[in-house]
Structure 1
Amino acid sequence: MRAVGFDVNGGPEVLRPVELPVPEPGPGRVLIRVAYAGVNFGEVQHRLGDFGPADGIEVPGLEISGEVAELGAGVTGLAPGDPVAAYLPDAGGYAEYAVAPAAFVFPLDGISLRDGGGAALALTTAWGVLTGAARLTAGDTVLIHAAAGGVGSVAAQLARALGAASVHGTVSSAAKARYAERFGYDAVHLRDGFAAHVSDLDVVLDPIGGPTRQASLTVLAPFGRLAVYGDAARRPDLNLPVLPFWKNNRSLTGYDIADLARRAPDRVRSHALSALSLLASGTIRLDISAELPLTSAAQAHETLQSGLNVGKTLLTVG
């Protein structure tokens, strides 16, 4: 089968076309003929070696859509030909075929394969960080960093659907601010100096890290929650004293889908199905801003790593 992979960590140029055997679905797993693969920052980190050095040819790709090709032993509720989206905890989505645990394969009832290609990771993460980590409740005030990204653009809509009283965002440029404003934000601020424009927030979502994370703590309301779900700035980890959390009634919480997939797969599935139901109903929408052939995966990575992306980028596979 055709795939794009790498065997040495490095820049986007290490991604190259490869030919690999079609994988076989083991017990409890599903083989999917891939139509679309979403592009995510986690795949940039995979390529760079943030998750460890390359071990042979590694194929990135954490979310896909396509049709069920074959069921492993013990899998029920699906049939060959079913349109599905899938989260791939072990990667492998930049290929004509990929294998996913059955728990993370989601029927696309009323959702196109195109939208499904960018949904399984982005929507699940947005729902999980809002409801699981941040414990958003109706009436909360919310700030979302990286407001124009694949997760940020749907997180704003989900926050509204969950009853948030106000939703603010931050971005890195004026062009991104204009883009993000289409997704239900009350205001979108430039990230540099954002703390001068917001205060007393119940929830802050941060996939950035570094100084942005540090400054986010200062804008929390009493019992406000800073929910961390990424490290796009790739800065050294913060060393935070505990006493200010006590003295200022603050909370720091986190969401990592890979850890949740290992320890609470049923919760990942619940988060995904809840978010997908809102996509199917039209309550929220995905904005697919770029659609590239599989062979242009390096170009997609270069745009994402340079911070020039908005919305969701898909690779067209089959």
Structure 2
Amino acid sequence: MRAIEIAEPGGPEVLEWREVPEPRVEPGDVLIDVAASAVNRADVIQRQGFYDPPPGAPPYPGLEVSGVVAEVGSDVEHFKPGDEVCALLGGGGYAERVAVPWQQVMPVPDGVPLVEAAGLPEVACTVWSNVFMVGRLRRGETLLVHGGASGIGTFAVQLAKALGSYVVATVGSAAKGERVRELGADEVVNYREEDFADKVQADVILDIMGAKYLAGNVRALRTGGRLVIIGLQGGRKAELDLGTLLAKRAAVHGTTLRSRSADEKGAIVRSVVENVWPLVGAGAVRPVVHAEVPMRDAAQAHRMLDSGEHVGKILLVR
């Protein structure tokens, strides 16, 4: 088969469409003929040489796919050849085929085209597990989403709004702010012009920045608030004012998804199918697709992501 390999750490030009060995199907695996994958920030970091796949995962980038089941391992009961599915991966999505532990495979939600479904697994599992399972966002509470126009941001805005929360999102331009409002955000804050901590008091904050936003995030938390950090785009180390944290009886959580075991991911996947897929099927939450790019041209898709001009997901289509 063919897949995108990283020739060496570097820019988008190091992504090469090459012949590679077919994946081996273990007893608990589902082999998927890939229809599409999607570009995530983790893929960029892997391309740059700073984020190796977890042990046992394919070396190719790609944390999610949609496609058709080609084969199932001897221990798999929940899926059969011909099923249309999408899946959460530890790696290997930029390829014609991928073998995935069955726990990480999901049916395509009702009403979602197969290609568009490639943009759902990573954002749905990330948002549901962090905002609702860890952050325990409840109806009527306020969610602050950093990077509201990103793939994760656009999904978080829609899902939180559909479940009855007040949603605030940070964005980098007026145009992105308008698009995020269309998706359901009650307020937007242009981080280039305003300090979000001067404008927002939130019960839950979903943060992709890390160190750069830590002080502001703690300041923006309400009493009993929960800060969930899922990215380090703004650095790894910062000073934390524990006095403010204690006074607010607040909590700071740091989580990752990629390195978890198949069983841990499976628990999240099952919860997503139970709680999120009905909302997707009803049209209350939809994948937001910025562009569809041929998979062989993954370098072009990475340039789009690097530019920061996109809204939603960039898909790689077979």
Contact 1:141 1:167 in 2 (8 A): yes
Contact 1:41 1:232 in 2 (8 A): no
Q: Which residue of 1 aligns with 2:84?
A: 83
Equivalent position SS for 2:156:
helix
Q: CA RMSD in A?
A: 2.1
CA distance in 1, matches of 2:82, 2:290: 28
Q: Which residue of 2 aligns with 1:100?
A: 100
Equivalent position SS for 2:115:
helix
- For residues 92 and 45 of structure 1, do their structure 2 counterparts lie closer, same or farther at Cα, with a shift above 3 Å needed? same
Contact 2:148 2:170 in 1 (8 A): yes
Deviates more, 1:259-268 or 1:70-79: 259-268
Give the letter for the 1:308 counterpart.
E
Gaps of 5+ in 2: none
Q: Which residue of 2 aligns with 1:32?
A: 32
- For residues 70 and 196 of structure 1, do their structure 2 counterparts lie closer, same or farther at Cα, with a shift above 3 Å needed? closer
What is the CA distance between 1:42 and its match in structure 2?
1.0
Q: Residue 230 in 1 paired to residue 222 in 2?
A: no
Q: Which residue of 2 aligns with 1:10?
A: 10
CA distance in 2, matches of 1:263, 1:108: 20
What is the CA distance between 1:278 and its match in structure 2?
1.6
TM-score w.r.t. the length of structure 1 is 0.92
Give the letter for the 1:272 counterpart.
V
Deviations 1:31-66 (A, max 9, x none): 1000010111111111112224999x9310000000
Q: Residue 278 in 1 paired to residue 279 in 2?
A: yes
Give the letter for the 2:119 counterpart.
G
Contact 2:131 2:137 in 1 (8 A): yes
Contact 1:129 1:254 in 2 (8 A): no
Deviates more, 1:251-260 or 1:124-133: 251-260
CA distance in 2, matches of 1:160, 1:54: 34
Contact 2:124 2:155 in 1 (8 A): yes
Q: Which residue of 2 aligns with 1:67?
A: 68
CA distance in 2, matches of 1:255, 1:18: 33
Q: Which residue of 2 aligns with 1:115?
A: 116
Equivalent position SS for 1:253:
strand
What is the CA distance between 1:316 and its match in structure 2?
0.5
Deviates more, 1:206-215 or 1:127-136: 206-215
Give the letter for the 1:153 counterpart.
T
Contact 1:7 1:54 in 2 (8 A): no
Q: Residue 268 in 1 paired to residue 283 in 2?
A: no
What is the CA distance between 1:259 and its match in structure 2?
4.1
CA distance in 1, matches of 2:223, 2:200: 11
Equivalent position SS for 2:199:
coil
Q: Which residue of 2 aligns with 1:48?
A: 48
CA distance in 2, matches of 1:276, 1:126: 13
Gaps of 5+ in 1: none
Equivalent position SS for 1:218:
helix
CA distance in 1, matches of 2:61, 2:2: 13
Q: Which residue of 1 aligns with 2:173?
A: 173
Q: Which residue of 1 aligns with 2:196?
A: 195
Give the letter for the 1:156 counterpart.
V
Q: Which residue of 2 aligns with 1:316?
A: 317
Count of aligned positions: 313
Equivalent position SS for 1:146:
coil
Equivalent position SS for 2:121:
coil
TM-score w.r.t. the length of structure 2 is 0.92
CA distance in 2, matches of 1:53, 1:265: 15
Give the letter for the 1:18 counterpart.
R
Q: Residue 136 in 1 paired to residue 142 in 2?
A: no
Deviates more, 1:122-131 or 1:299-308: 299-308
Give the letter for the 1:170 counterpart.
T
Amino-acid identity (%): 36
Deviations 1:70-90 (A, max 9, x none): 11120012111110000112x
Give the letter for the 1:311 counterpart.
G
Q: Which residue of 1 aligns with 2:164?
A: 163
Equivalent position SS for 1:58:
coil
Equivalent position SS for 2:276:
helix
Q: Residue 215 in 1 paired to residue 216 in 2?
A: yes
